[in-house]
Chains A and B, each alone.
Chain A
Amino acid sequence: MIFQTPFLPIDNLSRLMLLLIAFLFPLIFIYSLAYVKRNLFRYYFVLFITLGGMIGTVLARDLLSFYIFLEIMTVGIYFLIIDNAKKESFPAGFKYILMMFTGGIFILLATLMLYNLTGTVAISGIAKAAAVLPQSEVILIFSLFTIGCLFELGAIPFHIWLPDAHPVAPSPVSALLSGVAIKVGAYGIIRMIFTLKILFPVLIIVGVVSMLFGVILALKQTNIKRLLAYSSISQMGYVLLGIGLGTGLGLGGALFHIINHATFKMLLFFCTGAIIYATGERELSKLGGLGKRMPITLVTFSIAALAISGIPPFNGFASKTMLADAVADNWLLKLAVVLTAAGTLATFLKLTRFAFFGNIPKKLKKTKEVPILMLLPMMILAGACLGIGLFPAQLFNNLIAPATSAGTTFNFWNVKIIIDTLVIVVFGLGIYVLGFKSGFMTIEKKVAASFFSLDKICCDAAKLIEAGCVELKKLHTKNLNEHLLWVFLTLGLLLVLFYFRADFLTRLFF
């Protein structure tokens, strides 16, 4: 078969991703110890299979192994998503697994096409052969591979599994999904860019669309975990923007943002997990005033919220300034970056305001802080957010810049940061005030949005397929006479075709 040298040697990009997983996974494990109460054997069994799949994807030295480990990870995450066994977790899991398999098919197709062209699936071999391949084929294969990765990564328009899967999964699993699983998709694209040495500016458009629409949809959400899910889409847009730019600064910023997003988004999911653990509520309208009851959660949550909005000295600002610098000559992209950051700030202002401040509902009067096993990972992550934010250059120069193999350097602490931060804060407050005045942002759950929705189109298509299958089943009678008739009709049809048009055989599919 075509399996070749599945592991080793590790390069800098793999090492970076591996360190990220190695840092985050123990935290998920510790958090789960307190959070998960039922079906422990099943949960940890699948959790470790997922871990194996994730490590495999970043260590894989050939594309087939990458695909294999990706599928292992996908199946593992499916069983983690349905672990809650709620009514809505099954449709979400179903959507997740089918979309991931679709994405996997694109990756497999690209892999096999590369294998047919170069005779190898090993990344080093492909990189050697890529220079002499015809450019059109390379672009086709890269697009297929990228589409597959975009499914994994949840970029618009392949995002529809993401806002469904995150809220229904147990909180540590949501953190795993947002923190590591979707990063694997970004890793795949970066790996492929390094292998095929290709520039792909279409990703900039995908990135900007994901950034803007993700944050607009996040502003509207009232379910706290769904809000975080949409925010993940928007943050992955930044990563795609950086990848699409393809410069040393852009790729460095993208990788840096992968790390930063993993830390603060996991922290956010841990904090919302703490809220759900303590109160059992997910809707903003039923929450409020938790700040006094859960002070540590409030502090860690605020750190994460500031980090994700790009406010120094928390880590989000470092990668966002890099990306803003990378697009500096294009004011349209710059505007998109700033607007998204401002929108994110407004989103998290809303979340913090209505979850932690205001009047506490009667039902939640007895709320207590969550156990130490949950607080510990949250505090570690908050420390990481602050640490990376204070010393971004150290992390960047030692781990990220080698991974991009471009030798980029960047000065994080300059005067522009103050202006940028001020702009973001002003815009963010403006969006917050305007959003509530105009009624765009609310905390009351609305009945299904009536405007154009990709999710609805996909669900309708699925229903259409099922209706077609039901019709087919109706056609499929149980009458023996008819079945015999089919047999002889088939024979008759074959004979007629052979008799009149013996050449029909060669025309099928050609």
Chain B
Amino acid sequence: VIDAPILIIVIPLLAAFLTHLTKYTKLKRGTEIVAASGVVASLILLLSLGSSILAGKTINYNLGGWPAPFGISLAIDGLSFFFSLFVLGIGLLIIFYSFGIYQYARRYYSLLLIALSGILGIVLTRDIFNMYVFFEILAVASYVLVSYKHKPRAIKASFKYLIMTEAAWVLFLLAIAILYGLTGTLNMDTIAAQIPSIYQANPQVIYLIFSLMLVAFGVKCGMFPLHTWIPEAHSQAPTPVSSLLSGLILKVGLYAMLRIFFLFFGPTLLLQGAGNLIVFLGVVTLVVGACLALVQDELKKLLAYSSINQIGFILVGIGLGTQLGLQGGLFHIFNHALIKTALFFCAGIIISQSGFWKISDMKGIWQQMPGATFAFCILSLAVIGIPPFNGFVSKLSIIEATLIEKNYLVIFFLFTGILLTAAYYFRVIQTFFSPEEFQRKPDFVPQPAGPFEHLSTYAVVIFCLLVGLFPEIVLKFIQPAVKVLLP
């Protein structure tokens, strides 16, 4: 299909508006069906391109028929394919999880779909301003989603998310403006071709653009000390939205970093050691994230800080910039998205059944919810990086990549990070297995999780084990992505 790139973005967007029309049909659960089928259609379209993209082809599409430097162009290459594939997969999982919760109405599904199509747009576009626009579409949809339950704390968290991200986008816009002034174009490939000559003439302006973008994407992906919106937004959002934030929205910041930094600054700045800066920030992020997670008493906040911790590992992999480092970084992006999505599902199941938010109140819940506790244990082993689960393979790649570079200091901090991760997850696990008889909150009406919530969680658990045993399944998709970054 020649129009595939634009259709992949537009189909979920169309479905977002169609969900509102289900009001006029007598279809039972029409909203959910429309939402799910929109994502599935997009996914099928993407998969139909799979074989040619894995063979190394790039599929281009010019919007309105205008050729590349003038019009907006979309492209699916290995990197975009990998990201859009897991975005759609996890998006489908999140929608499936939401099925069970009746209070999620049309507005929720339509916002979720808009957010998904925003992410797909970011991943597929080759026009830097268009990327900014899709970032804003994603941001607006997710602000509303975070404050979906209209609780005062959620609205406050959403406001903080709004201000922090918008501050980042202002910087990003500034960087785009400077680039446009220098090159006269917004097409990424055309800009990239001109950057080396600009760098020769005036390195300072490239430093400025790099710094602006690093801070902007740093806010989005949760790099220390720009991570501050994450804990509150994650803990106050409804469960599937927390999964969306941690699983996909943080990863979009990483995608932008990978795409733009390697395309623009690959031959200039990154060669000169800007990668070291990212490694350094990654190490700080992972240690601080782990330390703060160690002393959290709110389950969802702990998971949020754990996300920051894991983002640190990914940044180390990206910053190394070697074949193996990028492979590990991309693999860990995928693994973390998968695991953290399901961990938030588990947290959601536990919270909606017990009414407690704090870990110290969750003593002995394993007798009440053996399934959710089991899933939580497996997933936390996976995120710590214990074999034979998927987190082990990606962390092994990152560690091996660092070891080849002989960065022993970084190795030390990576291992410290892993131990701290183990410490805070086992702190939670041992609370779950406490001998005290579990009592739910006195005045709380439990909402027992249905089959949709449980099934989507267990599916991820099984998939974690599968990927851990047969990493080739995912590596097949990662290798073309690495090839795009390191041609």
Name A residues whose Cβ lies closer than 8 Å to a Cβ of B: 1, 67-68, 71-72, 75, 78, 82, 85-87, 90, 93-94, 97-98, 101-102, 105, 108-109, 112-113, 115-116, 465-466, 468-470, 472-473, 476, 478, 480, 483-484, 486-488, 490-491, 494-495, 498-499, 502, 505-510
Contact = CB atoms under 8 A, between A and B. Distances in A.
15 contacts: A1-B475, A68-B392, A85-B435, A94-B423, A98-B422, A105-B415, A108-B396, A112-B396, A472-B291, A473-B295, A486-B226, A487-B168, A490-B226, A505-B269, A508-B280
B163 A101 contact: no
A231 B226 CA distance: 52
Q: Nearest 5 pairs between A and B by C-beta? A: A505-B273, A498-B207, A68-B387, A483-B228, A506-B273
A85 B436 CA distance: 9
Contacts of A109: 403, 411, 415
B434 A90 contact: yes
B55 interface: no
Contacts of B130: none
B403 A509 contact: no
B466 interface: no
Interface of B: 159-160, 163-164, 167-168, 171, 203-204, 207-208, 210-212, 214-215, 218-219, 225-226, 228-229, 232, 269, 272-274, 276-277, 279-280, 288, 291-292, 294-296, 381, 386-388, 392-393, 396, 399-400, 403-404, 407, 409-411, 415, 418-419, 422-423, 426-427, 430, 433-435, 471-472, 475
B381 to A, nearest CB: 6
Contact of B422 (A101, A505, A507): A101
Interface centre among A67, A85, A116, A465 (most CB of B within 10 A): A85
Contacts of A105: 415, 418-419
A494 B214 contact: yes
A72 B388 contact: yes
B228 A486 contact: yes
Contact of B204 (A498, A506, A507): A498
A93 B430 contact: yes
Contacts of B269: 505
Contacts of A1: 393, 471-472, 475
Interface centre among A101, A472, A487 (most CB of B within 10 A): A487
B278 to A, nearest CB: 10
A144 to B, nearest CB: 12
Nearest to B274: A505
B322 to A, nearest CB: 13
Chain A contact residues: helix, strand, loop or mixed: helix
A360 to B, nearest CB: 31
A157 to B, nearest CB: 18
Chain B contact residues: helix, strand, loop or mixed: helix
A495 B207 contact: yes
Contacts of B163: 480, 484
A491 B435 contact: no
B430 A82 contact: yes
Contacts of A71: 386-387
Contacts of B226: 486-487, 490
A504 to B, nearest CB: 8
A469 B294 contact: yes
A508 B279 contact: yes
A68 B388 contact: yes
Given A85-B434, A469-B295, A494-B211, A509 B409 contact: yes
Contacts of A510: 276
Contacts of A484: 163-164, 167
A491 B215 CA distance: 6
Contact of B403 (A72, A113, A506): A113
B426 A97 contact: yes
A72 B308 CA distance: 26
A295 to B, nearest CB: 35
Given A116-B404, A486-B225, 12 more contacts: A75-B386, A86-B435, A465-B291, A472-B288, A480-B163, A483-B229, A487-B164, A487-B215, A495-B207, A498-B211, A505-B273, A508-B273
B166 to A, nearest CB: 10
